């Protein structure tokens, strides 16, 4: 495939939302762009699979109502009718019990905490949202900051299990900035009654990626899937990208993959100090078991698991958000676990992981029976989440690399916000616009 487009003006490595939106901005300016994606589908972490004739996200996704970048893109593509916004039912599993936590009133009834600690928990979110300068939090870890705001009991019951579930062995290294942004974001996506309101794109997030890809192609851009890149070098004034399908030459290159992957591609020539900076930021992986059930598991959409004896950070019943009729009547449940890619669970087959998970599901939902499962799927993401440490701003590599015409725009550089589709779109569009305005870009 690459032999059909040996020369282009800009090569973009990675076909997730960052790469696609960067390409979109460039082709709108008349610049020839080629996007290379190693996987069979575009979308990156937003890739999908088929359930009941409908595309379903491999990893659970939603948007907050204050995710303005993605909403703006959807409007630009004329796809507003594809967005559904609904109140959601969220809860917590703690000490073998379920607790609803969708509104401020639910918080006041959260009995695992003494009444005074419930007040502290409510005030914690308000105090966190009043923080204006996130740089004041860079010297603190999340666990230090959360303890100082809400006290030891609130931290132990509510926040510590979530930190451990999300970051595993890195839990106590995570910056207060990361947690502050989570609290700020969720607080801004609520209805008049205090209930959380979330948005979903009909056909899955990949439907938006595919619509964007089609617009790029209509404007003359090229998108190649199943095209892994083995190396990137510079010869004279050109960037030479070697793929499994040939060689591509371009004047500029934009990397949107995980930083260690970039390091591997340019290791033959890049300075060792630069390669070290790309490998400095840690990532944690994710395995996600997706169940197709013949009946509902619960009435909750998003269940945080705050029991440290359970391996899953969350049980997300997608069809309590999007109707089961969308998926041929199947009820869709995601069981998510963040873990180092060296963990034995990461290497399990789908059947092995299901056998591992079922006793935990049955303990949580005693009436659950294995016969409810019609199909199951297991998805892995090696580079799921950068570990945002203290002083993370000092670890982020610059978007302009060690040689002219090399640019980096990845989820590890999204800060102080956390990685997510909305910010991937924001950063992709930003770098695309920046490069399209550069006088050295050939038009």
- 289 within domain boundaries: yes
- 71 within domain boundaries: no
Residues 277 and 396 placed together within one structural domain of the fold? yes
* pLDDT recorded at residue 161: 92
- 215 within domain boundaries: yes
* pLDDT recorded at residue 128: 84
Residue ranges in the chain whose pLDDT is less than 70: 1-5, 186-195, 439-443
Residues 177 and 109 placed together within one structural domain of the fold? yes
Residues 252 and 320 placed together within one structural domain of the fold? no
CATH number at residue 360: 3.90.660.20
Q: How many domains does the chain have?
A: 3
Residues 310 and 253 placed together within one structural domain of the fold? no
**At which of 170, 196, 222 does a domain end?**
196
pTM: 0.92
Residues 316 and 233 placed together within one structural domain of the fold? no
Look up the domain containing 121 and give its range. 104-196
CATH number at residue 49: 3.50.50.60
Q: How far apart are CA 241 and CA 49, in angstroms?
A: 29
- 81 within domain boundaries: no
Residues 380 and 422 placed together within one structural domain of the fold? no
284-296 pLDDT tens trace? 999 999 999 999 9
* Angle (deg, nearest 10), helices 68-76 and 205-218: 50
**At which of 371, 386, 401 does a domain end?**
386
- 79 within domain boundaries: no
Residues 139 and 224 placed together within one structural domain of the fold? no
* pLDDT recorded at residue 1: 47
Residues 265 and 348 placed together within one structural domain of the fold? no
- 140 within domain boundaries: yes
Residue with the two structure tokens 């995980």: 258
């Amino acid at each position: 495939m690459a032999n059909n487009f040996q020369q282009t003006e800009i090569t973009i490595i990675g076909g997730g939302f960052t790469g696609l939106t960067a390409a979109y901005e460039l082709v709108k300016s008349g610049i020839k762009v080629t996007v290379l994606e190693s996987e069979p589908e575009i979308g990156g972490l937003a890739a999908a699979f088929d359930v009941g004739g409908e595309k379903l996200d491999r990893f659970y996704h939603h948007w907050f109502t204050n995710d303005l970048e993605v909403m703006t893109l959807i409007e630009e593509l004329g796809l507003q009718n594809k967005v559904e916004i609904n109140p959601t039912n969220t809860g917590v599993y703690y000490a073998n019990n379920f607790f609803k936590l969708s509104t401020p009133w639910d918080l006041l009834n959260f009995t695992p905490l003494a009444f005074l600690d419930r007040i502290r928990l409510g005030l914690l979110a308000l105090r966190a949202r009043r923080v204006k300068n996130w740089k004041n939090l860079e010297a603190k870890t999340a666990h230090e900051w959360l303890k100082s705001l809400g006290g030891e009991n609130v931290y132990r019951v509510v926040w510590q299990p979530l930190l451990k579930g999300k970051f595993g062995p890195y839990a106590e290294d995570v910056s207060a900035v990361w947690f502050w942004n989570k609290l700020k974001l969720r607080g801004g996506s609520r209805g008049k009654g205090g209930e959380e309101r979330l948005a979903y794109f009909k056909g899955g997030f990949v439907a938006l990626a595919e619509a964007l890809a089609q617009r790029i192609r209509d404007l003359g851009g090229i998108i190649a899937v199943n095209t892994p890149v083995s190396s990137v070098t510079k010869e004279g004034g050109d960037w030479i990208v070697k793929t499994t399908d040939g060689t591509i030459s371009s004047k500029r290159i934009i990397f949107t993959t995980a930083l260690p992957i970039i390091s591997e591609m340019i290791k033959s020539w890049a300075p060792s100090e630069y390669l070290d900076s790309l490998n400095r930021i840690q990532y944690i992986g994710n395995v996600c078991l997706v169940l197709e059930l013949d009946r509902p598991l619960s009435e909750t959409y998003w269940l945080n698991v705050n029991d440290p004896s359970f391996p899953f950070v969350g049980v997300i019943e997608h069809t309590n958000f999007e109707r089961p009729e969308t998926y041929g009547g199947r009820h869709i449940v995601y069981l998510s676990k963040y873990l180092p890619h060296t963990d034995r669970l990461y290497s399990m087959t789908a059947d092995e992981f299901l056998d591992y998970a079922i006793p935990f599901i049955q303990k949580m939902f005693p009436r659950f029976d294995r016969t409810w499962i019609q199909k199951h799927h297991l998805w892995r993401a090696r580079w799921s989440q950068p570990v945002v440490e203290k002083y993370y701003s000092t670890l982020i590599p610059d978007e302009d690399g060690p040689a002219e015409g090399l640019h980096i725009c990845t989820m590890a550089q999204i800060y102080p916000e956390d990685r997510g589709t909305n910010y991937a779109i924001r950063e992709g569009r930003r770098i695309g616009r920046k490069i399209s305005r550069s006088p050295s870009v050939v038009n």
